[in-house]
Amino acid sequence: MANSAQASKRARQAEKSRQRNASQRSTLRTSIKKVIAAIQAGDSEAAKEAYKAATPVIDSTAGKGLIHKNKAARHKSRLNQHIRNM
């Protein structure tokens, strides 16, 4: 429990930030899973569309510092490689 007004405010801000980050992380994972599901189903067109939708989500989470830029690049590269190998 916070003992000062400053610590109390920081606790409120941290909780708000944690919830925002969790939501954005969930959106990221969902978009990646949609691409993977389309790839496993063997649907090339759906995979390409899902990848197109996932790319800005991956980039924006990296831009906000939620994931590292190299991790974002790795996700995009691997997903794109799977799509090209279909």
Measured CA to CA in angstroms, residue 1 lies from 5, 10, 31, 44, 57 at distances of 11, 11, 37, 53, 36
Q: How far apart are CA 29 and CA 58, in angstroms?
A: 9
**5-84: CATH, from 3.40.50.10070, 3.40.50.620, 1.20.58.110, 3.40.50.10440:** 1.20.58.110
Q: Which helix (H) or strand (E) holds 40?
A: helix 5-41
pLDDT digits (tens, 9 = 90+) for 73-84: 999 999 999 999
pLDDT digits (tens, 9 = 90+) for 46-67: 999 999 999 999 999 999 999 9
